[in-house]
Amino acid sequence: MWMRKAYVEVLVRYTREGQKIPILIIWEDGRKFSVDRVLDIRRAASLKAGGQGIRYRCRICSKETFLWFEEGKWFVEAL
């Protein structure tokens, strides 16, 4: 099953070491979701939506979801 690649606006905190930590995701319709915690950061491909970049495993509203940073843009896998 493939999914839609939904580009989203993201508010990002830069750490002193230059690492990017997403703190807020703004969905296409304007709804905002804050990222409770980033659980894992690694390079990975999105086979469902079609993409490749740095994948952030995030906990948002007590659910785990993936957020990708690919060539300067952020996206999520959406239905």
User: Applying CB under 8 A, does 49 fall inside the site for another protein?
Assistant: yes
Alpha carbon distance 74, 5 (integer Å): 10
User: Applying CB under 8 A, does 52 fall inside the site for another protein?
Assistant: yes
User: Applying CB under 8 A, does 47 fall inside the site for another protein?
Assistant: yes
Alpha carbon distance 39, 32 (integer Å): 20
User: Applying CB under 8 A, does 45 fall inside the site for another protein?
Assistant: yes
Choices 13-21, 25-33, 40-48, 56-64; region in contact with another protein by CB under 8 A: 40-48
What is the size of the binding site for another protein (CB under 8 A)? Answer: 14
Long-range CB pairs of 24-32 (<8 Å, 24+ gap) are 25/60, 25/67, 25/74, 25/76
Alpha carbon distance 45, 68 (integer Å): 9
Choices 15-23, 25-33, 38-46, 59-67; region in contact with another protein by CB under 8 A: 38-46
Which residues contact another protein by CB under 8 A?
A: 2-3, 42-52, 71
